[in-house]
With several copies, the nearest count.
Chain A
Amino acid sequence: METAPWIARGADGPHLLGSRCTACGAVSFPPDRAHCRDPHCPGGDPVVAALPRRGRIWSFTDCRYPPPPPYVPPTDPFEPFVLVAVELDGPGPIVLGQAPPGTALSSLRIGAPAELVEGTAAGPEGRRFPVWQWRPLPDGGGDAQTAGGVR
C-alpha cells in the first residue's frame, strides 16, 4: 500500500472518503464497494462520499510496545503513539486513527472535539505514505460531553 487510501482534500481541509448508499443513505468507512450493508435497505448502490472532517472523541489510548508487522514503526527506537476513536459529526461512524506524533494522552478527553489532519505512516523499505490522523481541538465545552457520551 503505497498511497493513502480514502483521504481527499476539500475546501475546508482533508477529509475521509467513505461510501453513502443511494437508496437508504447508509454511510460506511472504509467505503463499501459492491452493496449497501444495511439489511433494511431497499437496494441501493454505495457511492463515494466525503465524510465530515470533525467529530468528538469517543475513546482513546496509546501504544507503548511496537505493534507486529505489517505495522512499520516510523522511528527506531519505537516511540509510543496515541490512538483515538472519533465519532464523526452527523453522527457519522466512529473512526479510529493515530493522533499526530507528540500528542499527549493527557490532552485528550472523551467528548472533546477533534479534526482530521494528514500525516504520514511508514511502509516497508523506508517508504512513507499519507494517512489520516485525529488532532484534538480545544474543548468547545458544554454539549461535547453529551455528544460523545451517548454511544
Chain B
Amino acid sequence: MSDVCLIGTGMHPWGKWGRPFTEYGTAAARAALADAGADASEVDFVSGAATVRGGYPGFVAGAAFARALGWRGQQVASSYAACASGAQAIAAARARLLAGLSDMALVVGAESAPKGFFAPLGGDRPDDPDWLRFRLLGAANPLYFALAARRRMELHGARPEDFAAVKAKNAAHGAANPMARYRKRTTAGEVLASPVVADPLHLLDVCATSDGGAALVLVREEDARRRGADPVRLAGLSAAVPEYPVAEPEMPYLAGDPPRAEDGDTGGRAPRFREANARAAFEEAGVGPEDLDLAEVYDLSTAMELDWYEEIGLCPRGGAEGLLRDGATRVGGRIPVNPSGGLASFGEAVPAQGIAQVCEVAAQLRGRAEPERRVEGARVGIAVNQGLFGHGSAAVLTR
C-alpha cells in the first residue's frame, strides 16, 4: 500500500485573539499551501476538524473553511471527536487519498475558545453525561486530571515536584516556539507556588484554552516525490474507541465499567485506548517505540504526560518518573517529549491541537524547528491525543 505524505504544514499562532475560528483556520491553510508549494486549486478534498464552540459554521467546519478560502466545488468533510477531532480529520483525508478518491487533501482545524473552564452547552440534558457530570458533581475537567494524578502518585510514587518538572521542561521548549501562546520559561517552583486547582494539581499543571489554527496538505507518496516536495510520511494512524470494560471513569462519565464476572478483579483487561491507539499506529507504520526520536503527547495536565510515556511505550508502567528525572524527555535527551512546548505552552485549541501536534512532528522530521528546541536527526515521531468519552488517536510520522 502506498503511503500518504504531508507536504505542507501551517499554523496560526496560539493565543486569545478573539476572532472567528475561520480566520485562524484559513490563515493556517494558506500557510500550509504555501509551504507545500501548492495552489489552492489543486486541493480536491477539504477535511475540517469541527468545533462545537463556533456556532453552526463550527459544526460544518470543512465547508466553512472551504467557503472562506473560495468555494471550488471540492469534496468536503467535517469531523468531530473533541480533542481527537484533528486526528479524525487527518484520517478522513488519508483514507480518500489512499482510496484514490482525491489527489490533494487540505486538513484544517481551528478554535476560538471562550475563557475559563470548558463547560457544556446550555439546556437541560439529563441523558448527556457531559451535562450530568457538571450538574450532579461539579466535575470539571481538571478534577478528572487530578484523580488520575493522585492515582499515579499512589501507584508509582510520582510527586508534585515531578508534575511541576514536566511543566518546566515543556515551558522551556515552548519558549523557543513562535507558534506557542506562552513563550517564557517556568520553574518547578513557580508551578508549586501557583494556586491548587484540584489537589494535587496546581494552576500551572493544567492546560489553558486558546485560540489557534493548524492545517496540513496531504498527497500520496508518489505525488510528493513527483512534486519535489519536502515530504513527511504519515506512516500510521489510529483513532479508535476502547474495548469494554473500561475501568477508569473517563471524562465525562460518572463511572467506569466493572470487570467481567469471569475475569475477576484483575483479569481480562484490554489495554487502555491510549495504549491501543499507539500500538495500532506503530503497527501500521512498521516501527515501534524503540524507533522513536520524539513524541508529542497530550499534556492536558502535567501528570498526564507521565502516563503517556508508558502508554506509548517509552518505558514500562511506573517508569515515567525515572525517565523524566533523568532528563530523557527534554530536548537533548534520549527521547524528547513535547519539543513544541506541548499544551503547557500552547493551551488547548481543541480541533486544531491534534493537527498542530502533527505539524510539530513534521517540523522536527524536516529539521525546521528552532535550534533551541530542535531534535537533531529525527526520523520517527508520534503524536497522540485523547478526546472526551474515552476515545483518542495516535499518528506515527516517518522521514
Direct contact between A and B in the complex (CB less than 8 angstroms)? yes
Chain A residues within 8 Å of B, Cβ to Cβ: 1, 5, 24-30, 33-41, 58-65, 67-73, 81, 83, 85, 88, 90-98, 105, 110, 121, 123, 131, 147, 149-151
CB distance from A45 to the nearest CB of B (A): 13
Q: Report yes or no: A93 in contact with B255, Cβ–Cβ below 8 A.
A: yes
Q: Report yes or no: B117 in contact with A38, Cβ–Cβ below 8 A.
A: no
Q: Please measure, in the bound complex, the distance between the C-alpha atom of A1 and the C-alpha atom of B125, giving whole angstroms.
A: 9
In chain A, what residue has the closest Cβ to B196? A64
Q: Which residues of A contact B101 (CB under 8 A)?
A: none
State which of B259-267, B323-331, B332-340, B360-368 sits at the interface with chain A: B259-267
Q: Please measure, in the bound complex, the distance between the C-alpha atom of A98 and the C-alpha atom of B147, giving whole angstroms.
A: 13
Q: Which residues of B contact A37 (CB under 8 A)?
A: 67-71, 244, 257
CB distance from A68 to the nearest CB of B (A): 3
Does B258 interact with chain A (Cβ within 8 Å)?
yes
In chain A, what residue has the closest Cβ to B254? A96
Query: Which 4 residue pairs across A and B have the least CB separation, nearest first?
Result: A39-B70, A68-B119, A61-B146, A67-B138
A-B contact pairs, 5 of them (CB 8 A): A34-B26, A40-B70, A64-B196, A73-B138, A93-B256
CB distance from A121 to the nearest CB of B (A): 6
Q: Which residues of A contact B27 (CB under 8 A)?
A: 34
Q: Report yes or no: A59 in contact with B154, Cβ–Cβ below 8 A.
A: yes
Q: Report yes or no: B135 in contact with A70, Cβ–Cβ below 8 A.
A: yes
Q: Please measure, in the bound complex, the distance between the C-alpha atom of A73 and the C-alpha atom of B66, giving whole angstroms.
A: 34
Q: Report yes or no: A68 in contact with B40, Cβ–Cβ below 8 A.
A: no
Q: Report yes or no: A94 in contact with B155, Cβ–Cβ below 8 A.
A: no
Q: Which residues of B contact A92 (CB under 8 A)?
A: 258
Q: Are A70 and B134 also in contact (CB < 8 A) when A39-B69, A90-B258, A150-B266 are?
A: yes
Q: Report yes or no: B26 in contact with A28, Cβ–Cβ below 8 A.
A: no
| Residue among A25, A67, A94 making CB contact with B256, cutoff 8 Å | A94
Q: Report yes or no: A58 in contact with B151, Cβ–Cβ below 8 A.
A: yes
Does B140 interact with chain A (Cβ within 8 Å)?
yes
Q: Report yes or no: B126 in contact with A5, Cβ–Cβ below 8 A.
A: yes
Residue picked from B67, B142, B149, B201, most chain A C-beta under 10 Å: B142
Q: Which residues of A contact B196 (CB under 8 A)?
A: 62, 64
Does B77 interact with chain A (Cβ within 8 Å)?
no
